[in-house]
Chain A
Amino acid sequence: MWQLLQIELLKIFRKPRTYISFGAIALMVIIIQVALKFDGRSYIEFIVGSLKDSLEIPYAHILNGYFVCFIILNLLLIHIPLLIALVAGDSIAGEANMGTLRLLASKPVSRTGLMLAKFMATVIYTALLLAWLAFIALLLSVLIFGTNDILIARNDSLEIIRSNDVLWRYLAAFAFATLALTTVAALAFLLSVFAENSIGPIVSTISIVIVFTILSEMQIPLYDRTVKPFLFTSHMLAWKGLFYCQVDAGGTAIPGTIENIHAIAKSSGILILYIISFVSAAIFVFNRKDILS
């Protein structure tokens, strides 16, 4: 298995297409950082809304590396699934298209082993992409903007988390994001088994993520109970809960706490179930597939 995984990683990281994602993330993050460096005040005014008229907003303190990273994650974690689909959707269908799938499947390795190695390689790619995002969005932002307390805008209030209480939340958020994006990778992986070229599974994955995200975001009571709890996209955004603290009687955030850890654990569990279901289905189909490409 280790040997197969090494081979799959070699194939992913020798393919030029793989680096499009890393380049795209770097480009997007830098664009956001440049924008906030030169016009961060406008963005903060937009967040605080009418509060700026009644409170004195310390713009210089709010616009720090932690805050910038939070903005970047908010903006990008919706779009990164598209980049994940580029590699995961290519994993089987791309091989079928190149004609290498028949060579792989005629080697003395089990099809299940081959699929698991391919999926694990995709998970490693996803984790590395997130690590790259963490590096460039968190570390670079901290270097450019410095550190300070972080201001989190919630539906009806603003929350301040102390700077010494932020880093572990980011590490947990990146870990959760890896799980969330692995779900997308597993979906693309499953769709990839049915196709003979990678365009189909990539576009299908993106389409499903877009439709599900729209459904997750729609404020329709009927869907709130019947549809949303079952959509993986509804649970992919649970990372934000890591930045929502319990508050004391005076309304101040209590350091080291998470307001609803059960909701995050539940979302993690549901995403893991999705991953297991998608990958199991992919292996089941692939084991019975006649390779005619």
Chain B
Amino acid sequence: MALVTVSRLTKKFRTHVAVDDLSFSVNEGDVYGFLGQNGAGKSTTIRMLLTLVTPTAGHIEIFGLDLKKERKKILSQVGAVIEKPDLYKYLSAYENLSLFARMSGTKIGKKELFAQLDMVGLGDRRDDKVKTFSQGMKQRLGIAVSLIHNPRLIILDEPTNGLDPQGIADMRNLILHLSRHLHKTIIVSSHLLYEIEQVSTRMLIIDEGKKMVEGSVATLMDPSKTLVEAEVPDPGKAANLLEPTSWFQYLQKTTNHTLVFQLPKELIPDLNRELVQLQIDVLSLQAKNSLEAYFLSLTRTKQHVAAFTD
């Protein structure tokens, strides 16, 4: 069952088209990855889902209700963290949580507030002012705020921004916990391919406000298109040595230090043997995840895609 249905959504800021005729749907129970580079239109779309930005055209339905007409009813069942979890720095964690719980229209007791703070690991810091918190702690408090009214739908916009590696891992585990154990439907946007791949069941890739592809992660992550980076001392010379062989068809590009191949995963050992036979000194051989390869294949013609591989 589709919990969110977005039809032909467009947002223009004067002459700039931030979101262009975008349609997608999120099913109940999905962890829906919303993927795109910075400026692709992810945040604008999410802000439209939360009524922070008014669409220029198009239609949004959430829980089968028209967002324009049933805004309050819908938002009472939605929790969100939008980019940074900015909270009132001069209030304590408990006061912030209590304040937003009251705004959510649900009567929530002290015990539940304490339990929520415990769940995100802030139980022992509940009376401390938010200004003393690290970015990771603020992010966790933001998550607590988004969950306190037990929403059906959780929207996380770039939830790992500004987090250290441990914080990123914690966030990933939290998303998986919410999905698997609490059966929440989650929309999570990110420009980090790996993060989306780790948690999502379905995903949408957008670029310049337009939908590029939507589907299940299992379908999109085709193992026949694994991206492999071979670090070699002289990529130009190595490419020349490969040219007469059948391996050249898999070579996608060369960079200053690497040869980039796209090939079925099971061929990686054979590729390694061939490089050695050709007396190419391989400094490292790294298989990139297939989502990244897929994203690259979709946007290959664009210069900015190099940012994902270099």
A-B contacts at CB below 8 angstroms, number:
78
* B75-A106 in contact (CB<8A): yes
Query: Given the complex of chains A and B, what is the CA–CA distance between A105 and B103 in angstroms?
Result: 10
Q: Which residues of B contact A (CB under 8 A)?
A: 13, 47, 50-54, 71-76, 78, 80, 82-84, 86-91, 95, 99-100, 102-105, 145
Across-interface contacts of B82 in A (CB, < 8 A): 102-103, 106
Across-interface contacts of A99 in B (CB, < 8 A): 83-84, 86
Q: Does A32 sit at the interface, judged by CB under 8 A? A: no
* B103-A104 in contact (CB<8A): yes
Across-interface contacts of B95 in A (CB, < 8 A): 10, 14
* A106-B99 in contact (CB<8A): no
Residue with the highest number of chain B CB atoms closer than 10 Å, among A4, A102, A292 = A102
Query: Given the complex of chains A and B, what is the CA–CA distance between A108 and B74 in angstroms?
Result: 8
Residue with the highest number of chain A CB atoms closer than 10 Å, among B13, B50, B52 = B52
Query: Given the complex of chains A and B, what is the CA–CA distance between A103 and B47 in angstroms?
Result: 11
Beyond the given A11-B99, A103-B145, A108-B105, please list 6 additional residue pairs across the A-B interface where CB-CB is below 8 A: A7-B103, A11-B88, A11-B91, A14-B90, A107-B104, A109-B72
Residue with the highest number of chain B CB atoms closer than 10 Å, among A103, A109, A288 = A103
Q: Does A79 sit at the interface, judged by CB under 8 A? A: no
Encode contact with B along A90-131: 1 for CB under 8 Å, 0 otherwise: 000000001110111111111000000000000000000000
Q: A7-B102, A14-B91, A108-B104 are in contact. Are A290 and B145 (CB under 8 A)?
A: no
Nearest chain A CB to B89's CB is how many angstroms away? 7
Across-interface contacts of B76 in A (CB, < 8 A): 108
Residue of B nearest to A6 (CB): B102
Across-interface contacts of B91 in A (CB, < 8 A): 11, 14
Q: A106-B50, A290-B53 are in contact. Are A100 and B103 (CB under 8 A)?
A: no
* B86-A108 in contact (CB<8A): no
Closest 3 CB pairs of A and B: A99-B86, A108-B76, A108-B75
Q: Does A266 sit at the interface, judged by CB under 8 A? A: no
* B53-A107 in contact (CB<8A): no
Across-interface contacts of B99 in A (CB, < 8 A): 7, 10-11
Query: Given the complex of chains A and B, what is the CA–CA distance between A99 and B82 in angstroms?
Result: 9
Among the listed B50, B78, B88, which residue makes an inter-chain contact with A100, where contact means beta carbons less than 8 Å apart?
A: B88
Across-interface contacts of B74 in A (CB, < 8 A): 108
Across-interface contacts of A221 in B (CB, < 8 A): none
* B86-A106 in contact (CB<8A): no
